[in-house]
Structure 1
Amino acid sequence: MIKHIIWDWNGTLFNDVEMSVSVMNSILKERKLPIMTVEYYRSIFTFPVVDYYKKLNLNFKEEPFEIVGKIFIDRYEERKGESSLHKNVNSLLNELKENSIQQSILSAYSQVTLEKILVYHNIHSYFSNVVGLSHIYADSKIENGKKLISKLDHNKDEILFIGDTVHDFEVAEELGIKSILFAKGHQSEETLRRTGVPVINEITEMKNYLEI
């Protein structure tokens, strides 16, 4: 029986895909590079994020990843108010709480900004642990995941990780816990299904895998 759910943030609870694509397209336009559709974005997005940037043919010799990555994050932060939680997230988090299922967040988003945005959307109280990165460059979540798991008073078979990328699956595998992937986030359903774990198209479908 699942007693604790670890959520990813960007793309899983927070519906920021279209805004993220728009921000990156503004960067591509300025560098006279082809812009992308949401569909194409979902087909190439990956972790670490630097590998996704390389697929966009950004020239790191002229402009290092650290610089263009900072430009993206600055513009993302300016526009994040355009995005909202995925449909039914609030009611789902509340239902899980009412069923005594504990919840945490494990994210590649910066820790400080993650905590602020949870407060902004008034959902911070649902989470017993909120774990982000100490920087803005969205690399691996595995080490932070190990630290989080060590804090939880549950067996690994009682913990479920829900994310929207293959990296989330990889994190769950490394941690020895089950995972479900959400196909309305940052990677395509086709990409996610290659992992072999359950893939859902509505966030509330995750309840089918719980005994509630």
Structure 2
Amino acid sequence: MNRKIKYLIWDWNGTLFNDVRLGIDIINKLLNQNNLPEITFERYRSIFTFPVSYYYKTAGFDFSKTPFEILGKLFMDEYEKRKYQMNLFDGAREILELAKNKGIGQSVLSAYKHDTLVEILKHYQISEYFENVSGLDNIYAGSKEHLGIELRKKLNFKKEEILFIGDTLHDADVAKAMDVNCVLISNGHQSAERLMDNGNIVLSDIRELKNLI
């Protein structure tokens, strides 16, 4: 893969942005409010998935009592209040700058709502690194595969020249749908054990990308 990469496609939450602990804290708050047992860090990373409604069910929520639309809205309202308490993963800016200096193009592809994604990239002063920013048109974090396919149409590069970087099996699925290479980083929303399914390339830290680009 080394020296061939001309374009990076970044996932946001859990890949560049370290919001894992925030996500766990908020879901536990909702579980408490619904008289359900909290989940641990390890349990969270073993059940988190896309669409996120699936993991809400596994966490214990009963949608016949409280619909997912309500739970999802409560989650995002709290997330939006607290998102600026978080920060990028250590080494993220370094890798973004390294790619820029090497002339490697970069985009963000996320299940986060598009307008809030644009806003948060500006807040953390990294908008300049990205040619394209693609987010969903809603707050419910479903599949972003359709966004990936649309982005792929804009990129005039071969499969081996594009690297998708994410932190979930959904990212690997999206990369496959886009027909691009993928690496997953295991300090985000899913554990290394889960990410290794299907022979995915898994890194433990974003700084390991230095060896791939």
- Asked if these proteins are the same fold (TM beyond 0.5), I'd say yes
The whole-number CA distance in structure 2 between the counterparts of 1:200 and 1:156 is 20
Aligned residues of 2:105 and 2:131 also touching (Cα < 8 A): yes
Deviations 1:121-177 (A, max 9, x none): 000000000000000111111110000010112122211100000000011111111
Q: In structure 1, which of residues 107, 115, 120 is the aligned counterpart of residue 118 of structure 2?
A: 115
The whole-number CA distance in structure 2 between the counterparts of 1:171 and 1:197 is 13
CA RMSD of aligned residues (A): 0.8
Measured after TM superposition, the shift of residue 195 of structure 1 is: 2.9
2:94 is equivalent to residue 66 of structure 1: no
2:154 is equivalent to residue 151 of structure 1: yes
Q: Name the SS for the 2:199 alignment partner.
A: coil
The whole-number CA distance in structure 1 between the counterparts of 2:39 and 2:63 is 19
The whole-number CA distance in structure 1 between the counterparts of 2:85 and 2:24 is 13
Q: Name the SS for the 2:46 alignment partner.
A: helix
The whole-number CA distance in structure 2 between the counterparts of 1:35 and 1:57 is 9
Q: How many residues align?
A: 210
Letter in 2 for 1:173: K
The whole-number CA distance in structure 2 between the counterparts of 1:95 and 1:177 is 21
Aligned residues of 1:103 and 1:126 also touching (Cα < 8 A): yes
Structure 2 counterparts to residues 29-48 of structure 1, below 5 A: 29-48=32-51
Q: In structure 2, which of residues 22, 39, 47 is the aligned counterpart of residue 19 of structure 1?
A: 22
Q: Name the SS for the 1:160 alignment partner.
A: strand
Deviations 1:64-93 (A, max 9, x none): 111110000100111111210000111110
Letter in 2 for 1:190: E
Q: In structure 2, which of residues 201, 206, 212 is the aligned counterpart of residue 203 of structure 1?
A: 206
Measured after TM superposition, the shift of residue 204 of structure 1 is: 1.2
Partner of 1:54: 57
Q: Name the SS for the 1:195 alignment partner.
A: helix
Structure 1: tracts of 5 or more residues without a match: none
Structure 2: tracts of 5 or more residues without a match: none
Aligned residues of 1:166 and 1:195 also touching (Cα < 8 A): no
Structure 2 counterparts to residues 163-202 of structure 1, below 5 A: 163-202=166-205
Taking only the aligned residue pairs, the percentage that are identical comes to 48
TM-score (norm 2): 0.97
Aligned residues of 2:5 and 2:160 also touching (Cα < 8 A): yes
Aligned residues of 2:13 and 2:110 also touching (Cα < 8 A): yes
